[in-house]
Amino acid sequence: MQQNINSNSLESYLEQFTTDIATITSQPVFQEIYEIYDLISQSMRTYLVSQGFLEFKPPLIGPVTDPGTRGAKQVAIDYYGKEYKFMSSGILYKQLLSISRKMAGKEGKIFFFADNLRLEPLETANTDRHLAEFIQVDLEIVDADHHQAMDVAEGLVSYLHQEMKKYEAKLKPIWEFFEPLSSQRGLRKRESLPEIVGAFKRYTHAEAVDLLQTYIGENPDVVKEIQQRFGVKASRLSPKSEIPWEYEWLLSHIHDEPFFIYDYPKGARGFYDRESPQQPGILMDFDLIFPHGYGEAISGAAREFEVSKVIPRMKESGESLQKYRWYLEFLKKHGQPTAGFGIGLERAVRYFCGLPSIFLALPYPRVPGVFSA
Amino acid sequence: MYPYKQIIDRARNGRTAVYPKASDSSRLSIMGAKITGEFKRFPTMEDILIVPPLFTPQRLEKSIDLLVREPVFFDVELAGKLGGFHVSMPLVQSSMGSPDVWNLLAPYAAKACALEGIIYGIGENVAATWGYETRKVKSQPCLKERILAYFENFHGKGGVVIQQNEEDAQSELWNRLYSDPDLTQFFEDGFIAFEIKGGQGAKAGMGGERYIDRKTALELKDTYYIHPDPEMVEQERYERHSAPDIFTEEILRNRIIKMKNDYPNAKIWLKVGPYRDLARVLEIAGDTGVDCLSIDGKEGGTGMSPSVAMSHVGLPILACIALISEQKKKYPRTDVIISGRMMSGADLVKAMALGMNGIAMGRPFLISGYSFRFAERYLASELYRKKLIAKIAMKIRKPNEQSVQLIRNFVETIRIEAQLLTAGLGKYDLKKLSKEDLATVSEQIATMLDIPSIYSQKEMFVKPLIVA
């Protein structure tokens, strides 16, 4: 591919997105990425519709959105004198819509292509997979638990692989173009997309931590390497909390196919992720992790739906109950089990295109703390 | 009555206030120790005495260290770690919130605390009332002015502790701070703590109360409980109530765990009132790795509390200390500080000797910052308790750079007194203080805190070797 750009670092690419967007986005390699972006969007829609999901237009703003996690800040607007929030994720509305479909005697399966806005803490700028503005393909299923939601995720991601395989000739030059930077950012060199046959591996959180600890035991040098790569001082790996970014990267790096981690310990997730009635302290939730170092693609869970469970969970997050008035009233009258997940569209584009950082997937990327046009 | 005069004297006169003035005949101390006092309903820190020995092997050790001279009080080490921060002294300026009088002074207090290397607390409702980084009211500083005033004068010792209550949670204060590029470095370097507020001493178990004007009442009617309803009743002044936060053991435990996950670079503090289940609170704080548990005794100050609460509700600080002393030993990683009528170096020394890790105080910082000339006369009036007096003081003169010096003077008196007393006990590091350094006038307190009672026949401090 003929390119008029000469960038040997992510910083200089980012710089170009803040100075001359037309020049950088008109480069052939970027136009190829944008085409893949569109193909992935279409494939996701096609698959979900084929599985009986109905697409809704998600709300842009509302009196409340689901709380940001890991320190991300929501964006408020003045809505005729009242404070409304820009959606950081449409979970509460997905629950509402899937249940209302069911109440109407239809199949309770819905999805959004949802614009999400999260003012992430600046430390996320180093993960290569966080943007402040991004699209999440967000779905919800009535009468399902997290295992059934994982089945749908597996189907969707397998389908995407199958579809993208058809475009390998288009993808290869992108992989090659970014290969030097991608390997610098800890991504494995790719000759072809993984051939998906059969089911993805499913690890419980405890098994994933065990796997990591075993791997570290056998490769002690890796600890120093990831601490350097992610600029963290000490090991933060614990069976009692979320897997830190640097270890999630490691886990992703040593896998050849997408895989699930499920049953996370309670603590980091939102109040809507259901706590297992059989195993208190364990959430009925999951992540799908892309292989080769690309990291988390999907987060999902079965939802809490009883107010007697939701209210204490909200208080655990230090939330104000008043703020969630419509949601609590809705759950009290109509709450029933649902499960769902969201897949980051730009994360999928990054993964299939082999991009060193997620911001390269968009013509006007919102990198936390970077002021592009 | 709160001894405001002592604070003013300290703020105005700094280190000379550590000693009595010959000209001041109102000071009983000029004629020796004060042995009568006002009527008290329950024992306080004043009922504990500091009891030095003659034999001081640590003084000998220190002189060997120093080699060429005998140790004196300024050799006493006060610096150490507290609640995850390095501090010059284990004294904390309590988290004080949005009352206008305090808010005006708060950035100056921040500067004073930073220069002194002590921890500075920011209470609830500040961003909601006065703005996050732009002023909602021209004359009133916003939240970030407090924080930046601290860090602009910071020398590596101390830290900033920030609360978020339910109303702040509506606008996600902590998330905003945590994602604020101006503060990222301070979080990464470990200089900021988030403090969960589980009540305060002057109104344990109760929510927040304030009077607000009509305009504010209309603005806040969706966020708070306003009485009467400003849309139905037109009057000048309204009651603003906020609900107490809801905790169960499970909620507290999980909230702490969630905070540690959400804000890995922030220290986690927990402030509670003088509750009967404090021992359990400390267990949960210790298990979940809270950096500092701050206990406000019933003697604690307040912007506004129901009088009935101040008279009848909650445990005095000595009872709180006794309640947690067993658990305290089990959780050495969670520091415990106490507040409520703390105002001198003696309070700091006693708290440390009782096994606490430091003390916090609020009112002395407020009074010190306003201790300009003539303030005293107003502070003496009956109006004091309603905080209106401070408003009058504010009219006399607004806080300014002089307030920084007044507060620093006050802090210096605490430092000197703590050093004098510790050296007097033959110890040269605040952390070496222990229960052997204390005694009490009350047998009940003696039993409760496991320290000697000075009038008890049974108790001997140090037994003679040869008993006849």
Binned at pLDDT 50, 70 and 90, residue A20 comes out as confident
Binned at pLDDT 50, 70 and 90, residue A8 comes out as confident
Residues with Cβ within 8 Å of residue B279, at least 6 apart in sequence? B323, B324, B326, B327
Q: Is residue B30's pLDDT more than 50?
A: no
Which stretch, B26-30, B297-301, B351-355, B377-381, has highest mean pLDDT? B351-355
Chain B residues close to A244, C-beta within 8 Å: 264
Interchain CB contact of A235 with B (< 8 Å): no
Q: Do A316 and B178 touch (CB under 8 A)?
A: no
Chain B residues close to A122, C-beta within 8 Å: 179, 181, 184
Chain A contact probe: residue of B189, B256, B261, B271 with most A CBs at under 10 A: B261
Structure tokens at A148: 């059934």
Out of A70, A82, A236, the one facing B262 most closely (by C-beta) is: A70
Q: Do B174 and A71 touch (CB under 8 A)?
A: yes
What is the distance in angstroms between the Cα of A369 and the nearest Cα belonging to chain B?
7
Chain A residues close to B166, C-beta within 8 Å: 318, 320
Q: Do residues B366 and B96 lie in contact, with contact meaning Cβ atoms separated by under 8 Å?
A: yes
Parallel, antiparallel or unpaired: strands A295-302 and A285-290: antiparallel
Chain B residues close to A70, C-beta within 8 Å: 261-262
- pLDDT computed for residue B141 by the predictor: 96
If one compares A72 and B463, the residue with the highest pLDDT of the two is A72
Q: Is residue B383's pLDDT more than 50?
A: no
Structure tokens at B217: 């009442």
Residue with tokens 């060429």: B68
Q: Is A204 exposed, middle or buried (0-12, 13-18, 19+ CB in 10 A)?
A: middle
Chain B contact probe: residue of A117, A205, A315 with most B CBs at under 10 A: A315
- pLDDT computed for residue A69 by the predictor: 64
How many CB pairs below 8 Å do chains A and B form together? 90
Chain B contact probe: residue of A266, A275, A316, A325 with most B CBs at under 10 A: A316
Give me the interface pTM, i.e. the ipTM.
0.77
Q: Find residues 305-344 of chain A whose CB sits inside 8 Å of chain B.
A: 312, 315-320, 322-323
Out of B169, B188, B263, the one facing A71 most closely (by C-beta) is: B263
d(CA B80, CA B96) in angstroms, rounded, equals: 24
Q: Is A41 exposed, middle or buried (0-12, 13-18, 19+ CB in 10 A)?
A: middle
What is the distance in angstroms between the Cα of A232 and the nearest Cα belonging to chain B?
10
Report whether CATH 3.30.930.10 matches the domain A10-361.
yes
User: What residues are paired with B160 via a beta bridge?
Assistant: B120, B192
The CATH 3.20.20.70 domain(s) of chain B lie at: 82-205+256-399
Which stretch, B215-229, B378-392, B408-422, has highest mean pLDDT? B408-422
Tell me which residue of B96, B70, B145 sits closest to B426, measured CA to CA. B70
Q: Do B172 and A241 touch (CB under 8 A)?
A: no
Chain B residues close to A268, C-beta within 8 Å: 258, 261-262
What is the distance in angstroms between the Cα of B4 and the nearest Cα belonging to chain A?
36
Interchain CB contact of A233 with B (< 8 Å): no
Identify whether B230 is preceded by a cis peptide bond (ω within 30 of 0).
Answer: no
pLDDT tens sequence across B112-158 = 999 999 999 999 889 988 999 999 989 899 999 999 999 999 999 99
Q: Is residue A150's pLDDT more than 90?
A: yes
Q: How many CB atoms lie within 10 A of CB A146?
A: 25
Arithmetic mean of pLDDT, A133-147: 96
Cα distances from B61 to residues A72, A109, B416, in angstroms, run: 53, 77, 22
Domain coordinates in residue numbering, chain A = 10-361
Q: Do A241 and B261 touch (CB under 8 A)?
A: yes
Torsion of CA B180, A323, A110, A148, to 10 degrees: 80
pLDDT tens sequence across A186-230 = 999 999 999 888 899 999 999 999 999 999 999 988 888 888 887
Q: Do A83 and B171 touch (CB under 8 A)?
A: yes
Q: Is residue B372's pLDDT more than 90?
A: no
Nearest CA in chain B to A83: B171
Secondary structure string (H, E, C) spanning chain B: CCCHHHHHHHHHHHHHHHCCCCCCCCCHHHHCCCCCCCCCCCCCHHHEEECCCCCCHHHHHHHHHHCCCCCCHHHCECCEEECCEEECCCEEEEEECCCHHHHHHHHHHHHHHHHHCCEEEECCCHHHHHCCCCCCCCCCCCHHHHHHHHHHCCCCCCEEEEECCHHHHHCCHHHHHHCCCCCHHHHHCCCEEEEEEECCHHHCCCCEEEEEEHHHHHHHCCCCEEECCCCCCCCCEEEEEECCCCCCHHHHHHHHHHHHHHCCCCEEEEEECCCCCHHHHHHHHHHHCCCEEEEECCCCCCCCCCHHHHHHCCCCHHHHHHHHHHHHHHCCCCEEEEECCCCCHHHHHHHHHCCCCEEEECHHHHHHHCCCCCHHHHHCCHHHHHCHHHHHHHHHCCCCHHHHHHHHHHHHHHHHHHHHHHHHCCCCEHHHCCHHHEEECCHHHHHHHCCCECCCCCCCCCCCCCCC
Binned at pLDDT 50, 70 and 90, residue B382 comes out as very low
Q: Find residues 60-89 of chain A whose CB sits inside 8 Å of chain B.
A: 67-74, 76, 82-83
Q: Find residues 188-207 of chain A whose CB sits inside 8 Å of chain B.
A: none
Q: Do residues B324 and B357 lie in contact, with contact meaning Cβ atoms separated by under 8 Å?
A: no
Structure tokens at B41: 């309903």
Q: Is residue A36's pLDDT more than 80?
A: yes
Q: Is residue B237's pLDDT more than 50?
A: yes
Tell me which residue of B118, B100, B125, B290 sits closest to B207, measured CA to CA. B125
Taking an 8 Å Cβ-Cβ cutoff, which residues of chain B contact chain A?
A: 164, 166-167, 169-172, 174-176, 178-179, 181, 184, 188, 196, 222-223, 245-248, 250-251, 254-255, 257-265
Q: Kindly provide the b/e burial profile for residues A264-275, where b requires at least 16 CB atoms within 10 angstroms of the residue's own CB.
A: bbbbbbbbbbbb
Residue type, A99: I
pLDDT tens sequence across B256-268 = 998 998 898 999 9
pLDDT tens sequence across A248-291 = 999 999 999 999 999 999 877 889 999 999 999 999 999 999 99
Q: Do A68 and B181 touch (CB under 8 A)?
A: no
- pLDDT computed for residue B54 by the predictor: 94
Report whether CATH 3.40.50.720 matches the domain B82-205+256-399.
no
Average pLDDT, chain B: 88
User: What residues are paired with A259 via a beta bridge?
Assistant: A201, A289
Arithmetic mean of pLDDT, B442-449: 91
Nearest CA in chain A to B263: A71
Q: Do A236 and B265 touch (CB under 8 A)?
A: no
Which stretch, B2-11, B38-47, B160-169, B353-362, has highest mean pLDDT? B353-362
Chain A residues close to B194, C-beta within 8 Å: none
